[in-house]
Amino acid sequence: MTRTGSLALALLLAVSAPARAQAPPAPGTAPIQADDERMLPVLASHGMVSSQEARASRVGVEILRQGGNAVDAAVAVGFALAVTLPRAGNLGGGGFMMVHLAARNETVAIDYRETAPAAATETMFLGPDGEPDRAASTRTGKAVGVPGTVRGLAEAHRLYGSGRLSLVDLIAPAERLAREGIPVEAGLADSLPRASGLLGQWPSSRAIFFSGDRTLQRGETLVQRDLADTLRAVAEGGPDAFYRGPVAARIAAAVQGAGGVMTEADLAAYRPETRLPVRGTYRGYDIVSMPPPSSGGVHLIEILNVLEGFDLAGMGAGSAAALHTLAEAMKPAYADRATWLGDPARTRVPVKGLIAKPYADALRAAIDPERARPAEAVKAGDPLPFEHTETTHFSVVDAEGNAVSNTYTLNFSYGIGLVAEGTGVLLNNEMDDFSAKTGARNAYGLVGGAANAVAPGARPLSSMTPTFVFRDGRLLLVTGSPGGSRIITTVLQVIVNVLDFRMNLAEAVAAPRIHHQWQPDVLLAEEGLSPDTLAILRSRGHKVKVGPSSGSANSVMRVDGLLAGASDPRQRGTLADGY
Ligand code: DON
């Protein structure tokens, strides 16, 4: 259906369907408390960092203590995670950083998403049979997008850092962790054996992550000397030390050696983009999030707009009624994503239309409070995989109220598993986020359209959703998550848990989550929802599938004059820490 067609249908339904949604309740009246007798967030008065890896969180807190602002701390955390959380923290990937500057009351979005190399073509991921070749877009050099992280972090520091700390100061802790080594424990010990096949196929990766014929085991030490040297080069020479010269030459050679088309010229040409965030409102709160080429902010706001017309608080957290409503609100957003979203430099994304309240009214009117709507007919394929966390999100707030919400990634855990020889840099497989072919699904089961076709220099469509929530112009919440297609609904549920269900931040992050992405037509549920709730959802027509958890929504919230931090208990080794 065309865009005009789907909007017209939605508006028609809005007029003809009985108004089932209830009027929005007054913005929550129960106070949000910093402390209570339930699962508790960490509290601090000056600054807070919540990330997926404890050492990196502590690096960020130390930078804040030294007088760095939230951006300085975030840049240091970003470099540290490349060392301590190598499956997702990275120099060889890309991401998005939302920055809030309290004194200027300004929020900006830094897009340091990877780009397609100049020699990329629309059909590069089609096999001889004309069908998508998943191996090519996930496991070979062709999968690698031009990395954005180093220029992105350096640009954040240059534009929005405090000016009190240099890149050398911010990279030094990461370099030390890489050179001295870190014990293999927690999330690292969990993820390495799972990535053994991917890493083990490349001698340069084996040399770092293996001991003999197996990945490093719990209790052994991960030393990354080449990575330490690359970090030192960037600290001293700035991002050009990564994008030009020997490091760039080695990255291009590694990618080409693995069958890819990236050149040194592609690396030299890479630029991050500073963008205006996408903005919406929800029950009197302002939602400020990542615009295209992420679909995250647009669809977060689209879904919240639909939910605003329902009394979720009255239904109750975890109730079948609330979960049904959430699932039905998610479906049309993912249908829109498949059609409309792509790189705004190459396709006109109808952001305004998608986040308009009247559009949400129409979508809401089409929701049956008693019955699940079947997803539109697309051949049911392989069931949606439950992905382990591979991207990573961290949130930082400083004493002045500046804040950073950053999500970055190699796409899969450890990307394609290939370390560019001599650099310590693991390479991403972000090219799989393009649509290999209209209607084809990517690794997350997401359907893609022409708007997200591969093209030279294009940025692949993302779901990453680094987000701020404000109340009366004052920052309330910083959140985001990994999880592939489930990122948007993870962020959504953290927000709804806080704003509608009045959970404290620790509970909001920990509460079991659901996910529906329209196609495949499956309602994914984490463990922890009651069997009778699931039975009610099934009786309403939902194809419920209970599976492992997803996401790592490491978040910070301002409450009662304090900072509350919560790291996601779904991963080992996460930490919210402050001072
Ligand atoms: O940008 C995106 O949407 C994906 N590359 C994110 C991948 C991800 O979150 C993997 N972790 N579960």
**Residue 26 near residue 285 (C-beta atoms within 8 A):** no
**Residue 468 near residue 406 (C-beta atoms within 8 A):** no
- Report which protein residue has its CA nearest ligand 1's atom 5: 411
Query: Which atom of ligand 1 is the closest one to the Cα of 485?
Result: 3
Locate the DSSP E strands across 116-219.
Answer: 182-183, 210-211, 214-215
Locate the DSSP E strands across 120-197.
Answer: 182-183
Distance of alpha carbon 104 from alpha carbon 128, whole angstroms: 55
**Residue 39 near residue 510 (C-beta atoms within 8 A):** yes
**Residue 144 near residue 133 (C-beta atoms within 8 A):** no
Looking at 391, 423, 465, 533, which residue is catalytic? Answer: 391
410 is an annotated ligand-binding site residue = yes
Residue to probe by mutation, ligand 1, list 390, 517, 524, most atoms within 8 Å of CB: 390
Handedness of CA 324, 328, 329, 334 (dihedral sign): positive
Sheet holding 273-275, edge to edge: 273-275, 106-112, 94-101, 403-409, 391-397, 48-51, 575-578
How remote is the CA of residue 283 from the centroid of ligand 1, in Å?
Answer: 29
On the question of a cis peptide bond just before residue 293, with omega within 30 degrees of 0, the verdict is yes
Which residues are CB-contacts of 2 (< 8 A; sequence separation ≥ 6)? Answer: none
- Report which protein residue has its CA nearest ligand 1's atom 2: 462
Q: How far apart are the first and last CA of the chain?
A: 53
Tens-level pLDDT at each residue, the chain (579 residues): 233 333 332 332 233 333 333 444 444 456 665 555 458 999 999 999 999 999 999 999 999 999 999 999 999 999 999 999 999 999 999 999 999 999 999 999 999 999 999 999 999 999 999 999 999 999 999 999 999 999 999 999 999 999 999 999 999 999 999 999 999 999 999 999 999 999 999 999 999 999 999 999 999 999 999 999 999 999 999 999 999 999 999 999 999 999 999 999 999 999 999 999 999 999 999 999 999 999 999 999 999 999 999 999 999 999 999 999 999 999 999 989 988 899 999 998 899 999 999 989 989 999 999 999 988 632 222 223 334 457 999 999 999 999 999 999 999 999 999 999 999 999 999 999 999 888 888 888 888 888 999 999 999 999 999 999 999 999 999 999 999 999 999 999 999 999 999 999 999 999 999 999 998 899 999 999 999 999 999 999 999 999 889 999 999 999 989 999 999 999 999 999 999
Q: State the pLDDT at residue 22.
A: 41
Helices (H), 225-350: 225-237, 240-243, 246-257, 264-269, 296-307, 312-315, 320-340
Is residue 467 annotated as a catalytic residue, yes or no? no
Which residues are CB-contacts of 463 (< 8 A; sequence separation ≥ 6)? Answer: 294, 295, 296, 444, 446, 483, 484, 485, 486, 487, 488
8-state DSSP, 450: G
8-state DSSP, 387: P
484 is an annotated ligand-binding site residue = yes
Q: Is 500 in the pocket of ligand 1 (CB under 6 A)?
A: no
Angle at which helices 70-84 and 54-65 cross, to 10° = 150
Q: State the pLDDT at residue 440.
A: 82
The gap from C-alpha 496 to its chain's centroid, in whole angstroms, comes to 18
Residues in the chain: 579
Q: State the pLDDT at residue 389.
A: 53
- Report which protein residue has its CA nearest ligand 1's atom 12: 483
Picking from 292, 255, 235, the residue whose alpha carbon sits closest to that of residue 146 is 255
Picking from 91, 116, 50, 193, the residue whose alpha carbon sits closest to that of residue 409 is 91
Angle at which helices 70-84 and 167-180 cross, to 10° = 20
SS3 state at 286: strand
SS3 state at 429: coil
How remote is the CA of residue 483 from the centroid of ligand 1, in Å?
Answer: 6
Q: What share of the chain is helix, strand, coil (3-state, %, to 5)?
A: 40, 20, 45
Q: Is 291 in the pocket of ligand 1 (CB under 6 A)?
A: no
pTM of the complete model: 0.90
On the question of a cis peptide bond just before residue 520, with omega within 30 degrees of 0, the verdict is yes
- Find tokens 């394609």 and name the residue: 416
**Residue 564 near residue 556 (C-beta atoms within 8 A):** yes
Residue to probe by mutation, ligand 1, list 487, 515, 552, 570, most atoms within 8 Å of CB: 487
Q: State the pLDDT at residue 268.
A: 98
Q: State the pLDDT at residue 29.
A: 54
Q: Which H, E and C letters describe 523-535, residue by residue? A: EEEEECECHHHHH
Q: State the pLDDT at residue 39.
A: 85
Integer angstrom CA distances of residue 368 from 119, 336, 346:
48, 19, 37
Residue to probe by mutation, ligand 1, list 111, 191, 409, 491, most atoms within 8 Å of CB: 409
- Report which protein residue has its CA nearest ligand 1's atom 9: 484
Distance of alpha carbon 77 from alpha carbon 394, whole angstroms: 8
